[in-house]
Amino acid sequence: MQLLKWPDKVRSDYFLNKHFSGESIHYKGIIGLTIPIFVDQAFLIIMSLLNTAMISSSGVAAVSAVSMVDSLNIFLVNVFIAVATGGTVIVAQYKGQGNHEMVSKTATQAISAVTLLSVFVSVVMIVFHSGTLNVLFGKADVEVFHNATIYLIGSCLSYPFLAIFQAVNGVLRGVGETKPCLGLSLIINLVNTFLNLIFIVFLGMGVTGLVISVIIARIIGMTAALVYLIKYNETIRFRIKDALHIDLSILKKVMFIGIPFAAEQLFFNGGKLLTQTFIVQLGTLAMTAYAIGNTIVMILQVAPNALCIAIVTVVGQCMGRKNIADSRKFIKSFLGLSGVLFIASAILVLPFYPLLAKLFSLPAEIVPTVFILVLMSAITQPLLWPASFLLPGALRAAGDSTFTSVTAMFTMWLIRVVLGYILGITLGFGIIGVWAAMIIEWVVRGGIFHLRFKGKKWYAHNLI
């Protein structure tokens, strides 16, 4: 007897409806939300690879300096991005509830809060830049330290422009408008890469050229974001005069998510920053291996990172409708899809490692070390990364911000930092030991979040 076969379209439609459709959102809405984010993330990584390759042409000292300061940049920038995420969550929940007036008010207040915070961070860091670099990277080579000073001051000057850009993108994602985010991202990254090509490659300005490119690109990106929000967006009615008025009742809701997340980012990235100081002790080549290894691993994380961003909007809108069943269903589906995407990414990327090594002008002696780092991540990420990073984002979107932040802080400092020092420095495993400690931290962190997700406390919060 001949078996009946479903057409491919019917089978795919059945699968997508089963795993990615619910009462709150249809799978077509999720696809429309996620694909622009994925393209944006892919573009960001491609631009990052090109920019890293360009600064690599200025020498190992330049790469090491940029890597060092970028660790500090991530530490600082994520503080105000965390507040922007609070805005994303609250905007998403009001969007799910159908309260359009509060969507606009919350978006405006989130942008104001992020702007003020970024200006404060920028001023403090410029004033104390020398002492900060001495404490963190005082053992670095003189040339590396000089380049790091130039890059840090330039980065700080650009913080407010980046903050406004990120805040606008955050509120747009909250209402599910990811296509404009993609367009804005293309503008800022294309400008940055084009200017890097001129200042670094053609004019040979090194780190100074990188700084000029970053500042100009972020000014243009901020301007484009505000012009779009004020003139062309119909969902969020943003006006400058409303942004100058502070509404404490709205800010309190945004900060309920933003402050714990900001604290998490401070401690989490502070732990990564401290880990970087271990690596400084291992020498410039170890710092370069760590920097390039992280850059290549970012390629593997493109698609899963897109899901991490999308899940905040999806769960936030589900929680705005008080639909717990949809939230659970989508979280499980996103976790499974993230693991599959990691496997696909590894299969596609690993064969091209020799080409990537040439792209970054890697010294021959660290080519095997970088490959080991990348391979360690490729093997472990499908099982460990989604529960460690995607799941807490989903819990946070439901309002469970304090638990997720405290967990992330403790696992980072008690496992990744302490164990990283023991394995990397005390026991002499070097950069491999530091990397292994990171993976062990994923195991513990992901296990705790998984247990939290199985319970009921994560959705027992009333944000709006």
Query: pLDDT tens digits, residue range 288-337?
Result: 888 888 888 988 998 999 899 889 889 988 988 889 999 999 999 999 99
- Ramachandran bin of 414, using left for φ above 0, alpha for ψ from -120 to 50, beta for the remaining angles: alpha
DSSP string of 224-252? HHHHIIIII-SSS---HHHHTS--HHHHH
Q: What does the pLDDT read at residue 13?
A: 78
**Over the range 292-306, which residues count as b (16 or more CB within 10 Å of their CB) and which as e?**
bbbbbbbbbbbbbbb
* Whole-angstrom distance, CA of residue 48 vs CA of residue 377: 19
Rounded Cα–Cα distance for residues 381 and 454 (Å):
21
Contact 297, 125 (CB under 8 A): no
Q: How far apart are the C-alpha atoms of 54 and 48, rounded to whole Å?
A: 10
pLDDT confidence of residue 5: 52
Kindly tell me the burial class for residue 34, based on how many C-beta atoms sit within 10 Å of its own C-beta (0-12, 13-18, 19 or more). buried
Q: In one letter, which amino acid is 462?
A: N
Cβ neighbours for 125, distance < 8 A, ≥ 6 positions apart: 76, 132, 152, 156, 159
pLDDT given for residue 52 in this prediction: 67
Q: What is the DSSP letter of 139?
A: T
Contact 257, 92 (CB under 8 A): no
DSSP structural state of residue 232: I
Q: What is the structure's pLDDT at 407? A: 92
- Residues lower than pLDDT 70 in the chain: 1-11, 48-49, 51-52, 56-58, 60, 137-140
Are the C-beta atoms of residues 306 and 83 closer than 8 Å to each other?
no
DSSP conformation letters of 338-366: HHHHHHHHHHHHGGGHHHHHHHTT--GGG
Q: What is the pLDDT of residue 140?
A: 67
Contact 459, 400 (CB under 8 A): yes
Torsion angle, alpha carbons of 160, 164, 167, 171, to 10: 170
Residue 252 pLDDT: 87
- Is the pTM higher than 0.75? The answer reads yes
